[in-house]
Amino acid sequence: MSNLRKKGSKKKKAVSRELLPELPQNIFPVGERVLDNKNIYIHQKVYAQIHKFASNKTENEHGGILVGRVVNEMGKENTIIEAFIEAKYNAATPTTLTFTHETWEHFHSEMDKKYKDRKIVGWIHTHPNFGIFLSENDRFIQQNFFTDVNQVAYVVDPIQNDEGFFFWVDGRLERCPGFYLFDKVGIKIRQKAIWEKGSDDENEGGEKSFGTGILIPILLALIVLANMVLTINQNSRMNRLAQKLAQAEQVIQSQIIMINGLREQVYELEGYHMPEPQEETTENTEKDSEKK
């Protein structure tokens, strides 16, 4: 019986591993909605690493390859970028980038050492002050070295502070309208600003989507709103207290009238007249003070 229980427990563990989600669960959308049948995910540390790499590449084009995996789920192709390998020994000009034979040897060496369980899912290169597009040379590289339908091209302009992904759609290279940053569940996701020079994983400033330019007015508006609510609450409370005080005074006054009426009835029953209230004069006051 004990052996059967052990086998059953192992089977449950295997099933639980199979049920673990392959797609990132902690995501942050960047740009417009991604196509219905394709998605691109990039780890926020890789995103920050690429931006740091591109920040000082303002003369010639530079680049590298993107490493990760592809997940097909419910008819949707998901390219998940989990690492970046910088290109070495490449030939570069202000408008072109060429991966040499030595460059590819370096890529494969790094893949064998660090990413044996992953694959090349695309490439990245800079366009210093030229904007986001694929030149004829870029298209040649994509069409000859990154032909898989899930391999993407990522272009970064470190001077104009712009970026964009391109992927295969029905045999054509199209610009992706948006993508997702991701990280482990529970870790806050921030979109690093491309123009922030020398940003790294410890530096959490320069958020593009929720920057201080938007955050500060929002905080100020919330503070003003909170003060308004507090003032309204205070005024409302004071009004309620004033109403209760007026009601209490009315009750006391009615009680006094009722007591006086009862006193009159008592005096009448005893055959006496109700004494008139005496006004306190200055002489009586002086006499009282002398007695004391």
- Is residue 289 in some structural domain? no
pLDDT higher than 50, residue 206: no
Instruction: Please tell me whether residues 144 and 232 are part of one structural domain.
Output: no
CATH code of the domain containing 90? 3.40.140.10
Instruction: Give the model's pLDDT for residue 214.
Output: 41
- Is residue 66 in some structural domain? yes
Give the mean pLDDT of 102-123.
Answer: 96
Instruction: Please tell me whether residues 223 and 203 are part of one structural domain.
Output: no
Instruction: Please tell me whether residues 157 and 223 are part of one structural domain.
Output: no
Per-residue pLDDT of 216-271, as tens digits, reads 455 556 665 666 656 666 666 676 666 666 666 666 766 676 677 676 766 667 66
Per-residue pLDDT of 117-147, as tens digits, reads 999 999 999 999 999 999 999 999 999 999 9
Give 238 or 184, the one with higher predicted confidence.
184
Instruction: Please tell me whether residues 40 and 97 are part of one structural domain.
Output: yes
Instruction: Please tell me whether residues 52 and 175 are part of one structural domain.
Output: yes
Instruction: Please tell me whether residues 120 and 258 are part of one structural domain.
Output: no
Give the mean pLDDT of 97-122.
Answer: 96
Q: Between the ranges 32-46, 172-186, 203-217, where is the mean pLDDT highest? A: 172-186
pLDDT averaged over every residue in the chain: 77
pLDDT higher than 70, residue 157: yes
Instruction: Please tell me whether residues 201 and 259 are part of one structural domain.
Output: no
pLDDT higher than 80, residue 27: yes
Work out the pLDDT band at 74, boundaries 50, 70, 90: confident
Instruction: Please tell me whether residues 251 and 136 are part of one structural domain.
Output: no
- Is residue 57 in some structural domain? yes
Instruction: Please tell me whether residues 174 and 235 are part of one structural domain.
Output: no
Domain count within the chain: 2
Copy the structure tokens of residue 258. 């009722």
Instruction: Please tell me whether residues 124 and 269 are part of one structural domain.
Output: no
Instruction: Please tell me whether residues 189 and 141 are part of one structural domain.
Output: yes
Residue range(s) defining the domain that contains residue 178: 20-209
How many residues does this entry show for the chain?
292
Work out the pLDDT band at 13, boundaries 50, 70, 90: very low
- Is residue 15 in some structural domain? no
Instruction: Please tell me whether residues 174 and 45 are part of one structural domain.
Output: yes
